[in-house]
Homo-oligomer: A and B are copies of this chain.
Amino acid sequence: MKELNDPDLLEHYLGAYEIESIFNEDLRPYLALYRYDHGELICSQGDPYDYLYVLVKGKLKIFTTSPEGKTLILSFKTPLDVVGDIEYVQNTEIINTVEAVSEVHMIAVHHRYLKKFASDHTPLLKFLLDVITQKFYVKSSSLSFNLLYPVEVRFASYLLSVCFDESDALYSGKLSTGALIDAANLIGTSYRHLNRVIQHLSQEGLVERHKGFIVVKDRNGLSKLANHKNIYE
Q: In the complex, what residue of chain B is closest to A90 when comparing beta carbons?
A: B133
Chain B residues lying within 8 Å of A143, measured Cβ to Cβ, are 74, 139, 142-143, 146
Known: A66-B148, A144-B66. A129 touches B137 (CB 8 A): no
CA distance A95 to B141 in the complex (A): 10
Q: In the complex, what residue of chain B is closest to A140 when comparing beta carbons?
A: B139
Copies of this protein in the complex = 2
CA distance A134 to B135 in the complex (A): 12
List residues 57-88 of chain A with CB under 8 A from any CB of chain B.
64, 66-68, 70, 72, 74, 85-86
CA distance A132 to B85 in the complex (A): 11
Chain B residues lying within 8 Å of A135, measured Cβ to Cβ, are 136
Is A215 interfacial (CB 8 A cutoff)? Answer: no
Is A103 interfacial (CB 8 A cutoff)? Answer: no
Known: A122-B125, A129-B89, A132-B133. A72 touches B148 (CB 8 A): yes
A interface size (C-beta, 8 A): 36
* Selected contact of A120 from candidates B68, B95, B122, B133, CB within 8 Å: B122
- Label chain A's interface by main secondary structure: helix
CA distance A135 to B134 in the complex (A): 12
Contact A86 B125 (CB under 8 A): no
CA distance A148 to B146 in the complex (A): 11
List residues 161-198 of chain A with CB under 8 A from any CB of chain B.
188
CA distance A129 to B64 in the complex (A): 23
Instruction: With both chains docked as a complex, state the minimum distance between the C-beta of A187 and any C-beta of chain B, in angstroms.
Output: 8
A: residues with CB less than 8 A from B are 64, 66-68, 70, 72, 74, 85-86, 89-90, 95-96, 120, 122, 125-126, 128-130, 132-137, 139-140, 142-144, 146-148, 188, 227
